[in-house]
A and B are shown apart, each in its own frame.
Chain A
Amino acid sequence: MSRENPDTVVEVRDLSVQRNGIDVLEDITFSVRHGQFIGLVGPNGAGKTTLLKALLGLIPVTRGSIRVLGAPPGDRAYDAHGIGYVPQRQEIGRNFPATVADIVMMGRFCCMGPLSFPRKKDWLHVKRTLALVGLEHLAERSIGQLSGGELRRVTLAQALCASTRLLVLDEPTIGLDLPAEHEFYALLAKLKADLGLTIIAVSHDLVALGGRADELICINRRMHIHGNPEDVVHSHAIREAYSCEFSFLAGELAHHEGVRPHDGPAHSHDEDTPGRDDGHGDK
């Protein structure tokens, strides 16, 4: 492999992944630099979640290579502690018998030995992380008593408790209404700016991610396009990936980006934007 750029956080080269003998990803190549917010988009079943899981070392690579924070996933030098992961899930198990602070503390477990217990400094870290996402007042609340938006912020805090270097999010706003989605992405933007986070987020929602990400990568089993959001959403490649026509309103991405929490009721962009659907992503 060529000498890597020290600024490169993730490097994927000619990646192919097979599951049950079927190619779910073929010849994927891209890199992510420190401090970038990358949106990974594609239709349902495109392999977005598979790609994230390969980055996290949860599924094996058939061909090609991945380097995350300078090492291949699964390698001894691979730093699982450097990655905060927000998995795709509609809801945390509401019956799980834990408080918000307990759930966030689980992100901290990766920094502890298997037989050690959280100490005072770990609980202080949890408290500080909850403050970052504006939930410090809910630390002792049971997770079953939270709203959907609060639960997402809890999972974000948990991931931040694990790492403030690379954040990997899989459909982080699925199931949220539009104001809650805007609030979540605004928080993510603030954290990125304040902490210098590198973010990779998967979403089936092209418009939502396109309005926030520095770059979009569109896949549908293969790499279709990688570039700045305006260019990507208006490209022929994205129509090919989604196998349909898009008719974005002029400046829609800019408008989406400009919406701030509680700016007002949700507009009806999900009715006129084919990129927004009700799918649940690919597993």
Chain B
Amino acid sequence: MFEFEFMQRAMTAAVVIGLLCGLLGFFVVLRRLAFIGVGISHSAIGGVAIGLLLGIAPMLTAAVFAIAVALGIARVSKRGGLSEDAVIGVFFSGSMALGVVLFSLRRGFRQDLFGYLFGNVLTISSAELVLLTIVAAVVALVLVLLFKELLFISYDEELARAYGRPVDLLNSALLVLLAVTIIIGVRLVGVLLIEALLVVPAATASLWTDRFRAQVALSAFLGAGCGALGLAAAYGLDIAAGGAMVLVGIITFFTSLVLRRATV
């Protein structure tokens, strides 16, 4: 399959996004951010629609919109006295509805919408791959630099605050990293499946080890593995690449669950 350039690009993109989602997924699972991730990914539809309507690069407007939604959810749930899941529900459905309405103003919107809902790793261009790799490298670098602080606030926010750590800033930074990762992932596997790449490898890793260093490494490895194996399976079986990548992850998770129960 590697005789085709588009497959080389797709495989590189799948491994890069798998690695990044595996790394960031450690904090998504540890901090129970899965639902906020769903909210951010669905809000991308609103951002994409704004971009298409205004004639601006849709992934750029989606990124700005997703970051604004992520920070908006955090701010409103903190200051509005509402539970976070309720606020996520409002932002998520609101931005999704905005996206659908704006898409409906365009001709051929169904095709556009379908493309963003399910993504397409096979159509990634060389320029997009370079951009994806650069953004992923920056996100990974920031994550590594802030790892110690993010781990501390994940352990106990109040304790971290008592020791003078900028807890609110760190929480916001984590949400921005999450939003950026989701947006670059949306291009590859779509709004509906990107969350699975964030949660499933990290959840699988947590079944195998109770040490964070090993969890992060295993999660990144599983994420990259899901990307590569899923894409290979999609090529061999002629099925949707995004779905295949996620299904490989899901199979790995349930296999791990059964093996762990059998061995413990």
Q: Does A57 sit at the interface, judged by CB under 8 A?
A: yes
Q: Does B164 sit at the interface, judged by CB under 8 A?
A: yes
Residue of A with least CB distance to B149: A114
Q: Does B30 sit at the interface, judged by CB under 8 A?
A: yes
- Known contacts A87-B156, A117-B148; decide if A162 and B211 are in contact (CB<8 Å): no
- Whole-angstrom distance from the CB of A48 to the nearest CB of chain B? 16
Question: Would you give the 0/1 interface string for A75-119, flagging 1 where the beta carbon is closer than 8 Å to chain B?
Answer: 000001101010101001101111100110011011010111110
Top 6 A-B pairs, shortest CB-CB distance: A80-B164, A110-B163, A97-B212, A56-B162, A142-B210, A85-B162
Q: Does B152 sit at the interface, judged by CB under 8 A?
A: yes
B211 touches which of A58, A81, A95, A97 (Cβ 8 Å): A97
Residue of B with least CB distance to A143: B210
- Whole-angstrom distance from the CB of A169 to the nearest CB of chain B? 12
Task: Give B19-37 interface residues, CB cut-off 8 Å to A.
Answer: 30
Q: Does B168 sit at the interface, judged by CB under 8 A?
A: no
Taking chain A's interface residues, is the majority helix, strand, or loop, or is none over half, making it mixed? Answer: loop
B162 touches which of A58, A102, A142 (Cβ 8 Å): A58
State whether A109 touches B163 (Cβ < 8 A): yes
State whether B164 touches A97 (Cβ < 8 A): no
Set of chain A residues within 8 Å of B152, measured between Cβ atoms:
106, 109
Question: Would you give the 0/1 interface string for B144-169, flagging 1 where the beta carbon is closer than 8 Å to chain A?
Answer: 01101101101110110111111000
A97 touches which of B30, B156, B159, B161 (Cβ 8 Å): B30
Q: Does B209 sit at the interface, judged by CB under 8 A?
A: yes
Set of chain B residues within 8 Å of A95, measured between Cβ atoms:
210
Residue of A with least CB distance to B161: A58
- Whole-angstrom distance from the CB of B156 to the nearest CB of chain A? 7
Q: Does A144 sit at the interface, judged by CB under 8 A?
A: yes
Set of chain B residues within 8 Å of A83, measured between Cβ atoms:
162
State whether A106 touches B206 (Cβ < 8 A): no
Which residues of A does B touch, CB under 8 Å? Answer: 56-58, 80-81, 83, 85, 87, 89, 92-93, 95-99, 102-103, 106-107, 109-110, 112, 114-118, 142, 144, 162
**Can you list 26 A-B pairs with a CB-CB distance of less than 8 A?**
A56-B162, A58-B161, A80-B162, A80-B164, A81-B163, A85-B159, A87-B156, A89-B156, A92-B155, A95-B210, A96-B154, A97-B30, A97-B209, A97-B212, A98-B155, A98-B211, A102-B212, A103-B155, A106-B152, A114-B149, A115-B146, A117-B148, A118-B148, A142-B210, A142-B211, A144-B210
In the docked arrangement, what's the CA distance between A193 and B48, Å? 64
Question: Would you give the 0/1 interface string for B194-224, flagging 1 where the beta carbon is closer than 8 Å to chain A?
Answer: 0000000000001001111001000000000
In the docked arrangement, what's the CA distance between A107 and B156, Å? 11
In the docked arrangement, what's the CA distance between A83 and B164, Å? 11
Which residues of B does A touch, CB under 8 Å? Answer: 30, 145-146, 148-149, 151-152, 154-156, 158-159, 161-166, 206, 209-212, 215
State whether B162 touches A57 (Cβ < 8 A): yes
- Whole-angstrom distance from the CB of A87 to the nearest CB of chain B? 6
Set of chain B residues within 8 Å of A106, measured between Cβ atoms:
151-152, 155, 159
In the docked arrangement, what's the CA distance between A117 and B144, Å? 10
In the docked arrangement, what's the CA distance between A144 and B158, Å? 21
Set of chain A residues within 8 Å of B162, measured between Cβ atoms:
56-58, 80, 83, 85, 87
Set of chain B residues within 8 Å of A80, measured between Cβ atoms:
162-164
Residue of B with least CB distance to A94: B210
In the docked arrangement, what's the CA distance between A96 and B210, Å? 7
In the docked arrangement, what's the CA distance between A107 and B148, Å? 12
- Known contacts A80-B164, A106-B155; decide if A98 and B212 are in contact (CB<8 Å): yes
In the docked arrangement, what's the CA distance between A213 and B165, Å? 31
In the docked arrangement, what's the CA distance between A93 and B31, Å? 12
Set of chain A residues within 8 Å of B210, measured between Cβ atoms:
95, 97, 142, 144
A96 touches which of B145, B146, B155, B158 (Cβ 8 Å): B155
In the docked arrangement, what's the CA distance between A162 and B162, Å? 11
- Whole-angstrom distance from the CB of B27 to the nearest CB of chain A? 11
- Whole-angstrom distance from the CB of B90 to the nearest CB of chain A? 24
- Known contacts A102-B212, A117-B148; decide if A109 and B206 are in contact (CB<8 Å): no
Set of chain A residues within 8 Å of B158, measured between Cβ atoms:
58, 87
Residue of A with least CB distance to B147: A117
